């Protein structure tokens, strides 16, 4: 396994109390595999990513338990100097907002070039040539001329391509992309996502793709991890999960997307709001919103059960996953 997150716990100490943002997350990504991480706002997707990358705000954040094994090594145990070496070179991140992630006072060519001068010891001239190559690779028209421009002179879609180029520059083994297309127009979203998927395949990178967009997931991901209140509630190969979700929350997410094969049916959005992370409900954290709730759900926390009815590696944190699978 390229990346394996085990039993990760992150909390934030706030004025109102302790927010339990990540409560025992387990997920893994193989080389060349895309894992989509899905879940409502506030479910802990970004905080998990930040803990993996070593860029969590600490304080107020605190990692209270868990391991982040990257190529078998626990990143949480490394010194900051060693983490920094891995970040960028082996493990890179793409953010939603390129404008704040890129340096506004450096030209794009200089920023990309810096990856090669700093990490690879190249001359400025060679580094600039590599920067232009990369801009070509992410299909920025007129790369040579545009390398001399600043981030604000590019459109949102082009900026996102530049951020992909930055992340790809040192050919990392794993990229974490946190809602990489959310801020873009729908047509541009599809182009940027296609580019990312193409590069991921070409370089056989592992990709953790955090997204709200179930449509995107079906096209590009191998596996899905669904998060709720800082936990993984379902983990499965994409096609198995689409065919028959094994968790009522996943079913709710699928039902809230319009699908061609369900024309005419009312959209069934999930009722209620995500829980406060200061007071996570007892038992199954989804129980106040769950259409299948039983008494046991209010008292007993469901573990991530092995969904043994399928051959694939599949898990569901629902006491009634069998009933859910049968629809």
For 313: left if phi > 0, alpha if psi spans -120 to 50, otherwise beta; the answer is beta
Binding partner of residue 256 among ligand ATP, Mg ion, ligand SF4, none, CB cut-off 5 to 8 Å per kind: none
Asked whether position 316 contacts Mg ion by CB under 5 A, the answer is: no
Binding partner of residue 286 among ligand SF4, Mg ion, ligand ATP, none, CB cut-off 5 to 8 Å per kind: ligand SF4
Asked whether position 254 contacts ligand SF4 by CB under 6 A, the answer is: no
Asked whether position 231 contacts ligand ATP by CB under 6 A, the answer is: no
State the Cα torsion 123-127-130-136 to the nearest 10°: -150
Q: Are 305 and 321 in contact (CB under 8 A)?
A: yes
Q: Are 54 and 70 in contact (CB under 8 A)?
A: no
Asked whether position 253 contacts ligand SF4 by CB under 6 A, the answer is: no
55-78 CB burial, b ≥16 within 10 A, e <16? ebeeeebebeebebbbeeeebbeb
Asked whether position 245 contacts ligand SF4 by CB under 6 A, the answer is: no
Which residue of 132, 154, 320, 325 would you call a contact of ligand SF4, by CB under 6 A?
320
- Residues in region 51-90 near ligand ATP by CB under 6 A: 57, 60
Distance CA(187)–CA(199), nearest Å, equals 19
Nearer CB in complex with Mg ion: 46/111? 46
Q: Find the shortest distance in angstroms from Cβ 192 to ligand SF4.
A: 34
Strand intervals (E) in 132-269: 174-178, 206-210, 223-228, 231-237
Q: Find the shortest distance in angstroms from Cβ 182 to ligand ATP.
A: 9
Binding partner of residue 12 among Mg ion, ligand SF4, ligand ATP, none, CB cut-off 5 to 8 Å per kind: ligand ATP
Asked whether position 46 contacts Mg ion by CB under 5 A, the answer is: yes
186-203 vs 156-168: helix axis angle to the nearest 10? 10
Region of 49-57, 141-149, 265-273, 314-322 interacting with ligand SF4 (CB under 6 A): 314-322
Strand partners, 316: 234, 305
Asked whether position 146 contacts ligand SF4 by CB under 6 A, the answer is: no
Which residue of 302, 307, 314, 325 would you call a contact of ligand SF4, by CB under 6 A?
302
128-157 CB burial, b ≥16 within 10 A, e <16? bbbbbebbebbebeebeebbeeebeebebb
Distance CA(233)–CA(248), nearest Å, equals 9
Strand partners, 207: 34, 175
Q: Find the shortest distance in angstroms from Cβ 234 to ligand SF4.
A: 10
Strand partners, 68: 5
Distance CA(95)–CA(181), nearest Å, equals 9
Please, is 170 exposed, middle or buried when counting C-beta atoms within 10 Å of its C-beta (0-12, 13-18, 19+)? middle
Which residue of 47, 205, 224, 318 would you call a contact of ligand ATP, by CB under 6 A?
47
Asked whether position 45 contacts ligand ATP by CB under 6 A, the answer is: yes
What letter would DSSP give residue 77? G
Binding partner of residue 41 among ligand ATP, ligand SF4, Mg ion, none, CB cut-off 5 to 8 Å per kind: ligand ATP
Distance CA(104)–CA(124), nearest Å, equals 20
Asked whether position 48 contacts Mg ion by CB under 5 A, the answer is: no
Q: Tell me the site size for Mg ion, rule CB under 5 A.
A: 1
- Residues in region 268-297 near ligand ATP by CB under 6 A: 277
Which residue of 10, 284, 307, 325 would you call a contact of ligand SF4, by CB under 6 A?
284
Q: Find the shortest distance in angstroms from Cβ 283 to ligand ATP.
A: 21
**Interface residue list for ligand SF4 (CB under 6 A):** 247-248, 284, 286-287, 290, 292-294, 297, 302, 318-320
**Interface residue list for ligand ATP (CB under 6 A):** 12, 14, 19, 21, 39, 41-47, 57, 60, 277
């Amino acid at each position: 396994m390229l990346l394996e997150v085990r039993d990760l716990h992150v909390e934030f100490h706030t004025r109102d109390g302790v927010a339990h943002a990540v409560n025992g997350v387990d997920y893994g990504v193989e080389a060349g595999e895309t894992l989509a991480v899905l879940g409502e706002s506030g479910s802990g997707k970004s905080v998990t990513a930040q803990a993996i990358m070593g860029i969590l705000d600490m304080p107020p954040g605190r990692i209270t338990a868990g391991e982040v094994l990257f190529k078998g090594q626990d990143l949480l145990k490394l010194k900051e100097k060693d983490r920094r070496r891995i970040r960028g070179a082996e493990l890179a991140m793409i953010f939603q907002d390129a404008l704040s992630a890129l340096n506004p006072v450096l030209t794009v060519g200089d920023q990309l070039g810096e990856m090669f001068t700093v990490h690879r010891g190249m001359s400025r001239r060679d580094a600039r040539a590599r920067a232009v190559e990369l801009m070509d690779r992410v299909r920025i028209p007129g790369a040579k001329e545009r390398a001399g421009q600043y981030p604000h002179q590019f459109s949102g879609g082009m900026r996102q391509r530049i951020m992909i180029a930055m992340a790809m520059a040192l050919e990392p083994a794993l990229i974490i992309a946190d809602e990489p297309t959310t801020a873009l127009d729908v047509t541009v979203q599809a182009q940027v996502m296609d580019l990312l998927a193409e590069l991921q395949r070409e370089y056989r990178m592992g990709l953790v793709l955090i997204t709200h967009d179930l449509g995107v997931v079906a096209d590009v991901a191998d596996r899905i991890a669904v998060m709720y209140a800082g936990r993984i509630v379902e983990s499965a190969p994409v096609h198995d999960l689409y065919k028959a979700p094994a968790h009522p929350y996943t079913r709710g997410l699928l039902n809230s997307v319009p699908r061609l094969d369900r024309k005419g049916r009312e959209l069934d959005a999930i009722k209620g709001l995500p829980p406060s992370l200061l007071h996570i409900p007892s038992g199954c954290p989804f129980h106040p919103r769950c259409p299948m709730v039983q008494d046991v759900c209010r008292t007993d926390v469901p573990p991530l059960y092995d969904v043994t009815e399928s051959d694939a590696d599949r898990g569901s944190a629902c006491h009634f996953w069998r009933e859910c699978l049968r629809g």
